[in-house]
Amino acid sequence: MRYNPKTRTFSVTVVEGRVLVTNDKKSIYVGAGQQTTVVGNRPPSTPKAVNLRTVVTWVKTLPNTTAAILPPSLLPPPTATVTPSATATATPPSPLP
């Protein structure tokens, strides 16, 4: 969720699951991969599909939280190293402490 005080606009983007966005004008469900905006005291806009990779790029600036915020489908693939003996080691993103 983001708020722009200059335009009095809230933007609600859902990464996973479903969220009920409500104000005194209307309630609307917003599903994963969708976004709605609320301007002033107007009703929430009809949810629209968004590119989550673009919308949540700011998450990369947070220390060690990517795995907790993004669903597995948006996480980078684990790194793998293959040694000459044909064993592989996968390193998933670190979980939050």
SS3 call for 31: strand
Identify the bridge partners of residue 20 per DSSP, sorted by sequence position.
29
Does 37 map to a domain? yes
Q: What is the mean pLDDT of residues 65-83?
A: 54
- Looking at per-residue confidence, does 85 or 24 come out higher? 24
Does 26 map to a domain? yes
Does 96 map to a domain? no
Q: Is the pLDDT of residue 11 over 80?
A: yes
Report residue 3's pLDDT band, with 50, 70 and 90 as the boundaries.
confident
Q: Is the pLDDT of residue 64 over 90?
A: no
Q: Which distant-in-sequence residues (6+ apart) come within 8 Å of 4 by Cβ?
A: 11
- Looking at per-residue confidence, does 41 or 80 come out higher? 41
**Integer CA distances (angstroms), 20 to 6, 10, 28, 44, 61, in order:** 25, 14, 6, 10, 27
Does 36 map to a domain? yes
Q: Which distant-in-sequence residues (6+ apart) come within 8 Å of 96 by Cβ?
A: 64, 65, 67, 68
Residue-number span of the structural domain to which 6 is assigned: 2-91
**Model's pTM, two decimal places?**
0.59
Domain count, the chain: 1
